[in-house]
Amino acid sequence: MRLEEAILEYERRRKESLKRVEKLRQKYNKWLNKKKKELLKALERLEKAKPPKNVDKRLLQIVEADRRNYVGSMRHVLGGILTVDDLGKRLPDIAKVHVDYGKRVMILFEKEIYAINSILKELSEGYAEFRAELERTSPPDINITGKLEELRRVRWELKEKRKSLSELSGRLEKERERLEAVISSEKFESIDREIREISSRVRSIELELRSKVSKLQKPLKRMRLGGIADEVAKNSGVALERPEEFLSLLVRVYPRLDGKARKSAEWLLENFEEKVSELSNLLDTLRELEKKREELLLDVKPLQDELDTTERELVLLREEVKRLERKLSRIEAELRDELEKLEKYLGRKIEVSF
């Protein structure tokens, strides 16, 4: 059986079932009106009933108060019940009134309460019968058409998102190429190479000088001269930060040194000033080169910003595609379930591809 034929057959049967459901509701609404009248008459009999004689006055007061509440509350609930569907919603309210007030009213008005209880039982059983018949008569709620429309809409949306994703990926690649072209330009690479070479030379000189100074740290610590001597004893880098003070210190302590410390001092007295001067010149050159590189990077920044923006858009778009793929899988599963329900309802195998 083709899907189009199956849907038409379902709609035809559904309309017939809904007509039967409407007749069923009319039947039970008529029954409900009859039972409401019986219940209202029973309430009236309870309201007018005379209590037994020689009843304890305190008990009579309690029961009379509950009788008024019982009758008033029950009439109020019944006033809100117009259809059998209303009955299903208000049965718990009826039961609550019957239990809360009826248990004490029954002490003096047992006959009347039993009569009301009998009608309430009929109402409860009748509603249960209505629900059972309604379940047998009502058509299953099958939404093939709606699910197919949703499936087509999500597939189209997913196709468009995948197309946008492909276009955005291509744009990102071009932006990366443009950025790479600037960064890999001969001028940029030349400055970058120079910065690396000078940085390496700076590290080498600093390491060499600090290594020589470190051999003086223990003797300086033992001398307890205070001032820069103690600072150098703790941190060899102080010598590079304050070269003139260090050289002055070195000249003063040189005669008191021996062994490896003396050799290091001799090397430092001979080379320290020259090395520090070279280091200072290298750092000046490094700062100039870094400034030039920053200027070149100013041209790169708009490209980098554009690239970053595109990458963020791409991440969001990929998440959107994944979300739509999950939604598509869910709709396909739901559509298969709807088709199974339809096949079961019609008792026919349905030919469909989606």
User: In this predicted model, what pLDDT tens digit does every residue of 93-146 receive, in sequence order?
Assistant: 999 999 999 989 999 999 999 999 999 999 999 999 999 999 999 888 888 888
Q: Is residue 208 part of a domain?
A: yes
Last residue of a domain, one of 88, 111, 139: 139
- Pairwise CA distance, residues 83 & 91, whole Å: 12
180 or 46, greater pLDDT: 46
**Given 139, 163, 191, which residue is the final one in a domain?**
139
Contact 114, 49 (CB under 8 A): no
pLDDT confidence of residue 174: 83
**151 and 133 co-located in one domain:** no
Q: How far is CA 134 from the centre of its chain?
A: 41
What is the pTM (predicted TM-score) of this model? 0.54
Number of Cβ atoms within 10 Å of the Cβ of 319: 10
Does residue 354 carry a pLDDT above 70?
no
Same domain, 64 and 206: no
Mean pLDDT of the 45-58 span: 92
**What's the whole-number mean pLDDT along residues 179-187?**
69
Q: What angle do CA 134, 137, 143 make, to 5 degrees?
A: 100
Q: Is residue 261 part of a domain?
A: yes
pLDDT at 311 over 70: yes
Read off the pLDDT of residues 61-96 as tens digits, 9 standing for 90 and up. 999 999 999 999 999 999 999 999 999 999 999 999
Structure letter (DSSP) for residue 140: P
User: Is 70 found in the same domain as 53?
Assistant: yes
Is pLDDT at 206 greater than 80 in this prediction? yes
Task: State the pLDDT at residue 96.
Answer: 94
pLDDT at residue 299 greater than cutoff 70: no
Residue 269 to residue 289: CA distance in whole angstroms: 31
Q: Are residues 200 and 290 in the same domain?
A: yes
Cα–Cα distances (Å) from 193 to 153, 183, 188, 199, 346, in that order, read: 55, 12, 8, 10, 79
**pLDDT tier at 184 (50, 70, 90 boundaries)?**
low
Task: Answer yes or no: is 351 within a domain.
Answer: no
**Domain residues for 99?**
3-139
Per the structure, the count of domains in the chain is 2
Residue 101 main-chain phi, psi, to 5 deg: -105, -35
Q: Is residue 40 part of a domain?
A: yes
Burial of 95 per CB tally in 10 Å (0-12, 13-18, 19+): middle
Q: Are 216 and 261 in contact (CB under 8 A)?
A: yes
Same domain, 128 and 151: no
For residues 173 and 166, give the distance between their C-alpha atoms in angstroms, rounded to a whole number.
11
Q: Is residue 352 part of a domain?
A: no
352: phi then psi, degrees, rounded to nearest 5: -155, 145
Please state, in angstroms and rounded to a whole number, the distance separating the CA atoms of residues 292 and 297: 9
Q: Which of 53-62, 180-189, 219-228 has the lowest mean pLDDT?
A: 180-189
Choose the final residue of a domain: 116, 139, 162.
Answer: 139
Same domain, yes or no: 127 and 8: yes
The answer to whether residue 328 scores a pLDDT higher than 90 is yes
Domain shared by 164 and 191, yes or no: yes
- Do residues 340 and 255 both lie within one domain? yes
Asked if the model's pLDDT at residue 263 lies above 70, the reply is: yes
pLDDT of residue 292: 81
Residues 195 and 341 reside in one and the same domain: yes
Q: Name the token pair of 135.
A: 């379940």
pLDDT at 57 over 70: yes
Residues 179 and 301 in one domain: yes
Higher pLDDT, 115 or 176: 115
Q: What is the DSSP letter of 83?
A: S
Report the candidate in 15, 335, 327 with the shortest Cα–Cα distance to residue 154.
Answer: 327
Name 157's Cβ contacts closer than 8 Å, sequence gap at least 6: 324
Q: Are residues 80 and 102 in the same domain?
A: yes
Report yes or no on 159 lying in a domain.
yes
Average pLDDT over residues 201-225: 90
| Residue % of the chain over a pLDDT of 70 | 97
Residue 186 lies in a domain: yes
In a domain, 48, yes or no: yes
41: closest CA among 112, 96, 131? 112
Residue in the block written with tokens 């299953």: 140
Q: Verify that 305 and 204 share a domain, yes or no.
A: yes
In the three-class reduction of DSSP (H, G, I as helix; E, B as strand; rest coil), residue 226 is classed as: coil
In a 10 Å sphere around its CB, with 0-12 CB exposed, 13-18 middle and 19+ buried, how is residue 98 labelled? buried
